[in-house]
Amino acid sequence: MVTAVLDTDFFRRWMSAVSAAVDREAGRLTELDSAIGDADHGANMRRGLAAAVASLEEERPATPGAVLVLAGRRLISTVGGASGPLYGTLLRRAGKALGDAGSVDAALLRDALRTGVEAVAQLGSAAPGDKTMLDALYPAIEALGESGDGFEAARRAAEEGAAATVPMQARRGRASYLGERSIGHQDPGATSSALFFAALAEAAGDTGAGGAEASGGTGEAA
């Protein structure tokens, strides 16, 4: 089966696309966070991702896994509140799961991201339905393996997951303190998570699913 090969440059483009997306949507993220959080999610994520992209340009990690580990480390060190540790854990665990391979395929990326998402769930003691970033992350991971158009399917699933948090009552995080008053607001973490997958689809589309095409590759086809 023909599979997309995702190399180090692809992962750098992905992180740059995430940073650009969050920069564009920072005002909306902060507006969402002002309703049920600390009103700083957009500014915090913008600062952290800009720092991550700058570090990637300066240090030039040599493998996809190293790109994600470095980006995650920078998010932990620069993003305030819970978002830094959560997103940093997601990227670092996914990067470590990719190992030292110089390129990966979509199936290996999906499995690595699932490892990262499960680490986030454990760190936050949260599950789908708690009105958190997991409500976008889990559907996106599942969608990556459900169709040949996995990147675009993951984007749609993440966006739908984020929108589905509106009628939920928050059970974890700062928003949980509001009880029923958290109902009717879209979760900012789920919204920024959806931006990660929109950027992934963008990076894949820019290069025809992320780079060269090859038979086989690392791991199985998505």
For the cut 50, the answer to whether the pLDDT of residue 199 exceeds it is yes
Return the pLDDT at 148.
54
Return the pLDDT at 81.
82
For the cut 50, the answer to whether the pLDDT of residue 214 exceeds it is no
Phi first, then psi: give them for residue 132, nearest 5 degrees. -135, -175
Give the whole-number percent of the chain exceeding pLDDT 90: 79
**Residues 39-46: what's their mean pLDDT?**
94
**Residues 25-35: what's their mean pLDDT?**
95
Sequence-separated (6 or more) residues with CB below 8 Å from residue 78: 47, 48, 51, 52, 84
Find the range with the poorest average confidence among 8-17, 157-166, 173-182, 206-215: 206-215
What residues does each domain of the chain span?
2-215
> What beta strand segments (E) does 75-189 contain?
103-104
Return the pLDDT at 207.
53
**Using CA atoms, how far apart are residues 131 and 165, in angstroms rounded to an integer?**
5
> What beta strand segments (E) does the chain contain?
2-4, 6-7, 103-104, 213-215
- Top CATH class of 2-215 equals mainly alpha
**Residues 131-152: what's their mean pLDDT?**
88
Return the pLDDT at 90.
98
